[in-house]
Structure 1
Amino acid sequence: MANTLTLPKDQLVAIAQQRLAHGIADNHWSEREKLALSCRILFDAGHDAGLAGQITCRAPQADTYYTQQLGLGFDEISSANLLHVNEDLEVLSGKGIPNPANRFHSWVYRQRPDVQCIIHTHPTHVAALSMLALPLQIAQMDTTPLYDDCAFLGEWPGVPVGNEEGEIIAAALGDKRAILLAHHGQLVVGASIEEACMLALLIERAAQLQLLAMAAGQIKPLPPALAREAHDWISTAKRSSVSFAYYARRALRQHADCLA
């Protein structure tokens, strides 16, 4: 006999979260491995734009982080060829040089001690939406982790290799987990690599849906209370971990070399 058919929604949510927490193990990959896996996941999802874009995560040493080499595409990143750099983009370990545009990551990390990973890319639908200089609209259930959680920078400050661009982007991001950059691309941040990777996938999906919906008619807004409920339901560390593991398994079928 069923015992839960009369329970209120908040109790069912608590039961589901408890089962998820205890029923599925955490990911076993190192931070460097998760960065490399993220690059391959994002490459397969259309975030490839030649050498544009950067991914970083904090390293154990204060004010330093791991990032990819300039000259390598996301499909070439492995845990072995990542760089360890400081805030001045000086290489502490690894071969090669980082992308000079990583400078604005330093500004975001300084502003947001809660952030462990930053992903900046120029995927097709985000880039197309950025050309319209319109903010991201969240009006579909799957994209609600970005509801009221995606900032918008409506003026392009130029290529982000100077300190000015770092200050502008960090300020515009504020306390959000994502930002759409007009005439540019997207940036997402996460308390973990898994969270940032899932948000990067999601913002491109949201931009694609928005463009399709705008071509068909007027986008209808979500009820705010229900949208916030969905945002919180999906935006948990465990859900990010489980989702990342799925995409990682899929990527490893094609890109086993990324963990070399």
Structure 2
Amino acid sequence: MSSTLHLSKTELIHIAQQRLDAAIIDHPWSEREKIALSCRILFDQGHDSGLAGQISCRAEQENTFYTQQLGLGFDEITQSNLIHVNHDLEVISGSGIPNPANRFHTWIYREHPEVNCIIHTHPLYVAALSMLEQPLIISHMDTCPLYNDCAFLPQWPGVPVGNSEGEIISQALGNKRAILLAHHGQLVVGTTVEEACYLAILIERAAKLQLLAMAAGEVKPLPPQLANEAHDWISTKKRNSVNFDYYARRAINMHPDCLL
């Protein structure tokens, strides 16, 4: 006889979370390896746009971060060809130079101390939605980690290589984990690389779903209470790790050089 059939949903969620926390062991990848894996994961998920887009994460040294070197696409990134830069985008170690657009990363790191990873890309469906100057609509269970968690910048401030663009984007992000940038692309942040990578996957899927639904009719809203419940259910460190590990295994199988 089952002993859980009488339990409430809240109690069952608590039990499931306890089991997940106990069963899942975090993979011992370094931050550099996780960035390299994220580049390959997102390349396979359609985030490739030539040399556009940056991934960065805080390094051990204060006010510094790891990122890609300018000139390499997401499909070429390995943990060994990443560079270590400071907030003036001066290279501390590694070859090459960073993308000048990394300047707005420095503003986000300065103003959002809880953020440890930033992913900015121009994937196809996000870019198409951004051209409509409409915010992202979350109306499907799978994309609920972004429910009430995606800001919108309705006006394009120009190429983000100046300080003003960094200030504008950082302020528009606010306390959200994602932002849709009109006429531009998307940006997500996370306390971990795993969290940011998973949100980047979800925001492109959400944009694709929205455009498909809009072509067929009116997008209907989710019940707020249930959507917030789903947001919190999926948005945990362990679930981020589990999701990242799945995509990482696929990336390693398809791109075994990424951890070199």
- Could you tell me the TM-score, scaled by structure 2's length? 1.00
- Distance in 2 of aligned mates of 1:169 and 1:23: 38
- Distance in 1 of aligned mates of 2:214 and 2:111: 35
Other structure's SS at 2:151 match: strand
- Distance in 1 of aligned mates of 2:227 and 2:11: 19
Unpaired stretches in structure 1, ≥5 consecutive residues = none
Q: Give 1:124-163 correspondences, 5 Å limit.
A: 124-163=124-163
- Distance in 2 of aligned mates of 1:27 and 1:210: 34
2:197 is matched with: 197
> Which amino acid counterpart does residue 81 of structure 1 have in structure 2?
N
2:164 is matched with: 164
1:13 is matched with: 13
Q: Give 1:101-250 correspondences, 5 Å limit.
A: 101-250=101-250
> Which amino acid counterpart does residue 116 of structure 1 have in structure 2?
N
Displacement of 1:136 in angstroms is 0.1
Other structure's SS at 2:204 match: helix
Displacement of 1:153 in angstroms is 0.1
> Which amino acid counterpart does residue 88 of structure 1 have in structure 2?
D
Other structure's SS at 2:34 match: helix
Displacement of 1:19 in angstroms is 0.4
> Which amino acid counterpart does residue 127 of structure 2 have in structure 1?
A
1:150-195 deviations in whole A, cap 9, x for unaligned? 0000000000000000000000000000000000000000000000
- Distance in 2 of aligned mates of 1:231 and 1:256: 33
- Equivalenced residue count is 260
1:215-255 deviations in whole A, cap 9, x for unaligned? 00000000101100000000000000000000000010111
Displacement of 1:27 in angstroms is 1.6
1:80 is matched with: 80
- Distance in 1 of aligned mates of 2:140 and 2:254: 30
Unpaired stretches in structure 2, ≥5 consecutive residues = none
Runs of 4+ in 1 over 4 A off after TM superposition: none
1:256 is matched with: 256
Other structure's SS at 1:62 match: coil
2:28 is matched with: 28
Displacement of 1:24 in angstroms is 1.4
1:121-168 deviations in whole A, cap 9, x for unaligned? 000000000000100000000000000000000000000000000000
1:70 matches 2:56: no
Other structure's SS at 1:115 match: coil
- Distance in 1 of aligned mates of 2:109 and 2:229: 28
Other structure's SS at 2:172 match: helix
- Distance in 2 of aligned mates of 1:27 and 1:68: 22
Displacement of 1:95 in angstroms is 0.2
2:55 is matched with: 55
- Distance in 2 of aligned mates of 1:237 and 1:110: 23
Displacement of 1:28 in angstroms is 1.2
1:29-48 deviations in whole A, cap 9, x for unaligned? 00000000000000000000
- Distance in 2 of aligned mates of 1:213 and 1:240: 27
- Distance in 2 of aligned mates of 1:146 and 1:24: 24
- Could you tell me the TM-score, scaled by structure 1's length? 1.00
Q: What is the root-mean-square deviation of aligned Cα atoms in Å?
A: 0.4
Other structure's SS at 1:253 match: helix
Other structure's SS at 2:57 match: strand
